[in-house]
Chain A
Amino acid sequence: MSVVIEARELSRWYGVVMGLNNVSFQVQPGLTGLVGPNGAGKSTLIQIITGQLQGSSGDLTVFGQRPWNNPALLGRIGYCPERESLPRDLQPLDWLRGLGMVSGLPTAAVRGRAEAMLQRVRLGREHWSKRMGQYSKGMRQRVKLAQALMHGPDLLVLDEPMNGLDPMGRQEISQILKELAAGGTTILISSHILAELESLCGNIIILNWGRILASGAQKEIRDDLKNWSEQLTIRCSDPRKLARHLFDAGVLLGFDLDPAEGLVHVRIENPEQFFPNWTRLLLEADIAVYEIRSQNRSLRRIFEKVTS
């Protein structure tokens, strides 16, 4: 499969602050999610991909070319920034038409194209005559997405595009992105809304402190997680006794007691070996168990695990 974005030992400093630390990864066609807490380096990476910043060392290519000062390449990229800032005095059609012409769309077709994109992102026609300064957060997100789609990019880079959208809006935008990806557009999307990335993106890049902690297909990351320690929370009649018993059996990496709530949080050393013997161990402890909670293997869990 062809590589759309490739970073090799890419680093970026802001003075003494490190924005990206020696990251290497590949983005394949399709939908890829970029996950990380604030300050992880997501926006820095996105700005390097879209030619707004340069790496301090290492290399990053998009479609085999470096993005900085490369207009031909930029013509193939659509970018939707994180902040909701838009020219507040302009109406969306005027802005989109202007940007469309800068992107090289035919003058005669640019108005129709702008209208089509506003319809595509489901911005109601009744809002088109308003100045964008009067727009809600969700409406601004839609216009931002429309401007990124104006010139029909091969790669769409979206920085937190779901911010401010209501659940229905998120679903609509997700659907648009899925259609675009199905049609051959590569999409890189960053978000804190992990549940949406989980349902939207086949591939994930997890970034924290400027480093890539995990990258690849979601399934691969989940499989990797099988080798990581599992955590269970158990509510029982004697948490101290249970913890001691399990610890003596040599199956725990560690535990935390919460006697007031009757809880013990246990970190299991080898889940593959632990769970077949789990009932026997509980019976041997000779205590009453009221509740067992297991952390699931959702993307949120993966994210919390690798960024903790």
Chain B
Amino acid sequence: MNSTGSTANAEVAGGGLRIEPGVIKAFRGLFRISFKSQFAVRRLPMVVLLAFLIPVLAWFTVGTGRQVPFFHWMVDVYLLLLLPLYCLSVCGALIRDEIQSDTLGFLTTRPLTRVRLFLIQFVCQIVLLELIALGSAVLLMVSGGLRAIPDLVALAPVFLVAQGLGVLAYGALSSLLGLLTQRYMVLGIVYGFVVEFGIGRIPTNINNLSVSRHLRTLLANNETILDLYRWSPEGTLFSMAILGAATAGFLVLGAVVFKFREYHASDDMQK
């Protein structure tokens, strides 16, 4: 930094501060920005709505003690449908929102490699997303508890592990899609239909490509789920490894795309 200059300039240009960029410091800085943005007053109603929507709907529509429909709410509607869509909407916007609003330049001109910037942004976002999902899952369990749904306590650990890994994998995939195109929502929904609802249900090894197929394997470790859905718990560790590998793979791809691709404010470059 400048070592010479007038008093006025010294005040502006460092003022004797030691500038030492680092990953932890950058994480703390970006987390502050992400947290304040995510939980801004304007956005809070949406966060609260998402957290309360399924628990409230499940509570209203499921009778006391009726385990099967409540589990359908938890697994089919919440875990395998709405949560991936929420991940798509939040993580797809990770970098894309900055591009669209033309604020990416404030970040990419900082002393941080693009790979680190992308990964730190992802971690900041995913921490918040996991917290929101955890809150939503807990509310869902409370809702089930109020309806006296049996075996919820036994399901909780498996469900939360599956949710945690699912948010990571879907979040990483969504971040990649957001980097590739501004129409990431459309691309994500098409991906969901083709891979998750289509390929994932083909009873051959090709279904390993589907994230939801591995989430089903994890959930099948719960006896009630096993009886209800007839999914197989075989290869649980393999599924966990695949989910971890998928997360890492999507992030590596995203980091490579972000490192080499130029993002320009003009409309042509936002495609």
Residues of A within 8 A of B (CB): 14-15, 43, 47, 50-54, 69, 71-72, 74-77, 79, 81, 83, 85-87, 89-91, 94-95, 97-107, 109, 113, 116-117, 120, 131, 147, 149, 151-154, 176, 179-180, 182-185
Q: Using A53-B262, A104-B19 as known contacts, list a sample of 7 further A-B pairs with CB atoms less than 8 Å apart, ordered by residue number in A.
A: A43-B265, A75-B19, A100-B29, A103-B110, A104-B22, A104-B111, A153-B13
| Cβ contacts under 8 Å, A79 to chain B | 105-106, 109
- Nearest-Cβ distance from residue A76 to partner chain B, whole angstroms: 8
Most buried by B among A71, A79, A113: A71
Q: Of B33, B102, B109, which contacts A85 at CB under 8 A?
A: B102
| Cβ contacts under 8 Å, B114 to chain A | 69
Considering only CB atoms, which chain A residue lies closest to B1 in the complex?
A152
Cβ contact within 8 Å between B17 and A101: no
Cβ contact within 8 Å between B102 and A83: yes
Report Cα–Cα, A154/B51, bound state, in Å: 47
Cβ contact within 8 Å between B268 and A94: no
Cβ contact within 8 Å between A89 and B42: yes
Cβ contact within 8 Å between A113 and B15: yes
Q: Of B19, B29, B36, which contacts A99 at CB under 8 A?
A: B29
| Cβ contacts under 8 Å, A43 to chain B | 265
Beyond A89-B40, A90-B33, whether A53 also contacts B264 by CB under 8 A is yes
- Nearest-Cβ distance from residue B103 to partner chain A, whole angstroms: 5
Considering only CB atoms, which chain B residue lies closest to A51 in the complex?
B109
B14 in the interface, Cβ–Cβ < 8 Å? yes
Beyond A71-B111, A75-B21, A104-B111, whether A120 also contacts B43 by CB under 8 A is no
| Cβ contacts under 8 Å, B36 to chain A | 89-91, 94, 98
Cβ contact within 8 Å between B113 and A69: yes
Considering only CB atoms, which chain A residue lies closest to B38 in the complex?
A89
Report Cα–Cα, A85/B100, bound state, in Å: 10
Q: How many pairs of residues, A versus B, come closer than 8 Å at their CB atoms? A: 177
Considering only CB atoms, which chain A residue lies closest to B8 in the complex?
A179
Cβ contact within 8 Å between B265 and A83: yes
Cβ contact within 8 Å between B2 and A99: no
Cβ contact within 8 Å between A120 and B33: no
Residues of B within 8 A of A (CB): 1-2, 4-6, 8-15, 17-22, 25-26, 28-30, 32-33, 36-37, 40-43, 101-114, 259, 262-266, 268-269
| Cβ contacts under 8 Å, A77 to chain B | 109
Considering only CB atoms, which chain B residue lies closest to A54 in the complex?
B262
Cβ contact within 8 Å between A98 and B30: yes
- Nearest-Cβ distance from residue B38 to partner chain A, whole angstroms: 9
Cβ contact within 8 Å between B28 and A183: no
| Cβ contacts under 8 Å, A86 to chain B | 103
Cβ contact within 8 Å between A90 and B37: yes
Report Cα–Cα, A116/B36, bound state, in Å: 21
Considering only CB atoms, which chain A residue lies closest to B34 in the complex?
A98
Report Cα–Cα, A51/B41, bound state, in Å: 34
Report Cα–Cα, A154/B112, bound state, in Å: 17
| Cβ contacts under 8 Å, A107 to chain B | 25, 28
Considering only CB atoms, which chain A residue lies closest to B43 in the complex?
A89
Report Cα–Cα, A71/B18, bound state, in Å: 16
| Cβ contacts under 8 Å, B269 to chain A | 14
Q: List 6 A-B contacts (CB under 8 A).
A: A72-B111, A81-B106, A98-B29, A98-B32, A151-B111, A152-B2
| Cβ contacts under 8 Å, A117 to chain B | 12
Q: Of A74, A100, A183, which contacts B13 at CB under 8 A?
A: A183
Cβ contact within 8 Å between B2 and A185: yes
| Cβ contacts under 8 Å, A182 to chain B | 5-6, 8-9
Cβ contact within 8 Å between B103 and A183: no
Most buried by B among A14, A76, A101, A149: A101
| Cβ contacts under 8 Å, B109 to chain A | 50-52, 74, 77, 79
| Cβ contacts under 8 Å, B15 to chain A | 113, 116, 152
Beyond A85-B101, A90-B40, whether A71 also contacts B112 by CB under 8 A is yes
Cβ contact within 8 Å between B25 and A101: yes
Cβ contact within 8 Å between A152 and B105: no
Report Cα–Cα, A116/B59, bound state, in Å: 52
Considering only CB atoms, which chain A residue lies closest to B115 in the complex?
A69
Cβ contact within 8 Å between B106 and A116: no
| Cβ contacts under 8 Å, B33 to chain A | 87, 90, 94-95, 98-99
Cβ contact within 8 Å between A120 and B12: yes
| Cβ contacts under 8 Å, A83 to chain B | 102, 265
Considering only CB atoms, which chain A residue lies closest to B262 in the complex?
A53
| Cβ contacts under 8 Å, A69 to chain B | 113-114, 259
Cβ contact within 8 Å between A104 and B13: no
- Nearest-Cβ distance from residue A246 to partner chain B, whole angstroms: 48
Cβ contact within 8 Å between B9 and A179: yes
Report Cα–Cα, A116/B7, bound state, in Å: 13
Cβ contact within 8 Å between B19 and A105: yes
Cβ contact within 8 Å between B103 and A85: yes
Report Cα–Cα, A79/B9, bound state, in Å: 17
| Cβ contacts under 8 Å, B106 to chain A | 79, 81, 99, 147
Cβ contact within 8 Å between A131 and B40: yes
